[in-house]
Amino acid sequence: MCGIIGIIGKAPVTPLLIDALKRLEYRGYDSAGVATLVNGHIERRRAEGKLVNLEARLADKPLPGIIGIGHTRWATHGKPSERNAHPIATDRVAIVHNGIIENFQELKDELTAEGKRFDSDTDTEVVAQLLTSYLEQQMSPEAAMGKAMARLRGAFALVVLFSGRHDILMGARRGSSLAVGYGEGGEMYIGTDALALAPFTKRVTYLEDDDWVVLTGNGATIFQGTKEVKREIRQSGISGAMMGKGNHRHFMLKEIYEQPTVIGDTLQTYLDPATRSVSLPALPFDWNKVSRITMTACGTAYYACMVAKYWFEKLARLPVETEVASELRYREPPMIEGGVCIAVSQSGETVDTLAALRYAKAQKQTILSVVNVPESAIARESHVVLPTLAGPEIGVASTKAFTTQLVVLLSAAIAAGRARGVLTREDEERLAHALIELPAQVNEAVNMEELYKRISEEILAEARDVLYMGRGSSFPIALEGALKLKEISYIHAEGYAGGEMKHGPIALIDESVPVVVVAPTDAIFDKIASNFEQVKARGGKLVLLSDQAGNARLGSHAAASIVLPAVDPVVAPILYTVPVQLLAYYTAVAKGTDVDQPRNLAKSVTVE
């Protein structure tokens, strides 16, 4: 969740800290703060709310110093306030923290008994007070950090600034991502991920679980427990230039418009247009010997799993179980040896998905991950990685990450079907052709701005409740459309399988309830058409998403229609994702909500 940054520099670091926090604000925007050393003493500037409030505070009261840390917060322990904003500090240390200290109450009771006084409601403060206690016992910062790591339980990333020590920063990671950046001539960086470090350096080391690190101007020394360990320095492919909005009003809109390009980029990795065949990396298993696939993810990525279930079962005749990761990790289902677990995550750091992956691994499942960050924890703990090529996604509501996940999962399903003899060579060529045409069709779907705006402003924005329905592989797209609308417009919305409408949800239908119908012309179009008529008979305000053939049958009875290119039904879920994204976007704009940073949400969910 939260974004953290630390810098050892040669010039004042506060402007650099703020610049990095702007790239991390998608991770949390309840409050923000920075701390530096000024003449050996810790000085802080903190503000409740978005980063602009902290910038105003700094404009009024600048903060010098050539070593410092910064934080943008998504609140866990303690309500959003300046009092609970990070950095959390004592007179000896200042700390920024992402995650949760699970045994904070036990530690707090112990430290309170020692006479320590707590000034915030955060779990983070126990770490600051614990380190202070060790330092007061004449331990070195290194010894204090090592001992603290042995006491802390939970998932966290920490960066620590020590009073009187202009020469070191320390960091620690357990469960939450943390990366070290190597600068030039005495400059070092540490932050949540490579995105935070992109403008400063491309030479990055990703810390592993239970690593803690000492940064000096000369480099980084990494430890596990008391033992020094070596970690690879990698060349990051992320650049600061990838972070702008371009000419778009919001990151979300920019990322929606990038979908034709990133879908094409992803296809180039998995599809040979000359031979019209799908090619995956070498796999550590034989598709013919796979007994079952378990797919697990959270949020939007889970809906990608739901779509892929249809694909794997139809195209490869493989049984698939889809599991919300937060449920799988605690339900502890039996898994038959020889199965494959597919974990899907944009960030590759989603804590529930990572825990579900580890459970599946312990059950002797082969782990295949679909992630947008190849250096992430999920990727590193997988047997094989199928990367999406979406590029950095800053908008909290996932868009291009979702459609590229779908492209990768469909490619895998086609490869499995071909290997298992379910698909003929002609089938593979037909599906490959459908995928090759997809970027142009997505581009066509994106470029209907006035239509999306009109429907959003005239039908959706004034509604209190909106229903979405679809059948077959369009059902998860209905769920995704409802989620997008909830996330960024704050309108209550629900997605349903079309056949389930008459089993309860139809009771909600009247002329004030818009119903968005995801209805490509496919083998079960007649069924969704019947559900369409059932809603119409109850006075529902219908918004139809279909192609020319579907619109010819149902469009005259709809309050509005969005006519999409005719596509192979197998790829239709990818194409039909675009209009539900744009309807949510323009509805949110019409309502004046914060599209990129919706309330209570943050990107990369690294806490339970």
67-81, 103-117, 386-400, 408-422: range with highest mean pLDDT: 408-422
Whether 76 shows a pLDDT value over 80: the answer reads no
- Return the number of other C-beta atoms located less than 10 Å from residue 22's C-beta: 17
Q: Which of 209, 241, 273 is the last residue of a domain?
A: 241
Of 231, 86, 65, 238, nearest in space to 164 by CA: 65
Asked if the structure places residue 604 within a domain, the reply is: no
User: Exposed, middle or buried: residue 307 (CB in 10 Å: 0-12, 13-18, 19+)?
Assistant: buried
Q: What is the pLDDT of residues 14-61, one digit of tens each?
A: 999 999 888 787 777 789 999 999 999 999 999 998 889 999 999 999
Q: Quick one: pLDDT at residue 331?
A: 87
**497 and 593 belong to one structural domain:** yes
Terminal CA-CA length for the chain: 10
Q: Are residues 354 and 306 in the same domain?
A: yes
The answer as to whether 171 is a domain residue is yes
Say what the pLDDT of residue 409 is: 98
Which residues are identified as catalytic? 2, 603
Residues 300 and 319 both lie in one domain: yes
CA atoms within 13 A on the CB side of 458: 11
Residue 240 has pLDDT above 80, yes or no: no
Q: Is the pLDDT of residue 1 over 70?
A: no
Q: How crowded is the C-beta side of 100, counted as CA atoms within 13 Å? A: 13
- Average pLDDT of the chain is 91
What is the length of the chain? 608
DSSP secondary structure letter of residue 167: T
Q: Is the pLDDT of residue 340 over 60?
A: yes
User: Above 90 in pLDDT, residue 343?
Assistant: yes
pLDDT average, residue stretch 544-551:
95
Question: Considering the domain boundaries, does residue 395 fall inside one?
Answer: yes
Are residues 233 and 312 located together in one domain of the fold? Answer: no
In a domain, residue 128? The reply is: yes
Residues 364 and 510 in one domain: no
The tokens for 16 are 């650099």
The pLDDT tens digits of the residues spanning 188-214 come to 999 987 777 888 888 889 898 899 999
Whether residue 42 is found in the same domain as residue 145? yes
- 50 contact partners, CB below 8 Å, separation of at least 6: 25, 29, 32, 597
Q: Are residues 324 and 248 in the same domain?
A: yes
Give the model's pLDDT for residue 241.
46
Encoded amino acid at 141, one letter: P
Task: State yes or no: pLDDT of 545 exceeds 80.
Answer: yes
Q: What is the pLDDT of residues 156-182, one digit of tens each?
A: 889 999 999 999 999 999 877 888 999
Using the CB atoms, write b or e for 218-234: b if 16+ within 10 Å. eebebbeeeeeeeeeee
- The CATH number linked to 431 is 3.40.50.10490
Query: By the 8 A CB rule, do 301 and 324 touch?
Result: no
pLDDT band, very low/low/confident/very high, at 298 (cuts 50, 70, 90): very high
CA 121, CA 106: separation in Å to the nearest integer? 14
Q: What tokens appear for 344 in the block?
A: 């899907």
pLDDT at 184 over 80: yes
pLDDT in the model for residue 237: 64
From 83-87, 248-252, 323-327, 491-495, the region with the lowest mean pLDDT = 248-252
Cβ contacts of 206 within 8 Å, gap of 6 or more: 177, 178, 179, 231, 234, 375, 380
How much is the pLDDT for 568? 95
* Residues 476 and 388 occupy one common structural domain: no
DSSP 175: B
Boundary residue ending a domain (417, 447, 477): 447
Question: Are both 270 and 296 inside the same structural domain?
Answer: yes
Give how far Cα 110 sits from Cα of 104, 105, 113, 116, 117, Å. Answer: 10, 9, 5, 9, 11
Residue 350 sits in the same domain as residue 382: yes
Residues 347, 353: contact at Cβ < 8 Å? no
pLDDT of residue 246: 63
Query: In whole angstroms, what is the distance from residue 40 CA to residue 318 CA?
Result: 63
Higher-confidence residue: 313 or 203? 313
Domain end call among 420, 447, 474? 447
Q: Does 602 reside within a domain?
A: no
Nearest to 255 by CA among 373, 387, 396, 399: 399
Identify whether 211 is part of a domain.
yes
On whether the CB atoms of residues 354 and 175 are closer than 8 A, the answer is: yes
Question: Can you tell me the distance from the alpha carbon of 539 to that of 511, in angstroms, rounded to the nearest whole number?
Answer: 5
In which domain, by residue range, is 591 found?
448-597
Is the pLDDT score of 567 beyond 50? yes
Candidates 410, 430, 442; CA nearest to 307 is 410
pLDDT in tens, 478-497: 999 999 999 999 999 999 99
Residue 64 has pLDDT above 70, yes or no: yes
What 3-state class would DSSP assign to 578?
Answer: helix
Cα–Cα distance measured from residue 529 to residue 501, given in angstroms and rounded to the nearest whole number? 13
Give the CATH number, domain containing residue 164: 3.60.20.10
Q: Poorest-confidence range of 53-62, 109-118, 243-252?
A: 243-252
Cα angle: 369, vertex 371, 375; to 5 degrees: 100
User: Is 72 a domain residue?
Assistant: yes
Confidence of residue 245 (pLDDT cuts 50, 70, 90): low
Taken in order 218, 211, 395, 386, is the CA torsion positive or negative? positive
Provide the 10 A C-beta neighbour count for residue 278.
23
Q: Are residue 151 and residue 277 in the same domain, yes or no?
A: no
Average pLDDT over residues 374-399: 89
Domain count of the fold of the chain: 3
pLDDT above 90 covers what percent of the chain? 68
The backbone region for 22, taken as left when phi is positive above 0, alpha when psi lies in -120 to 50, beta otherwise, is: alpha
Does residue 144 contact residue 134 with C-beta atoms inside 8 Å?
A: yes
Assigned domain for 603 exists: no
Are residue 236 and residue 268 in the same domain, yes or no?
no
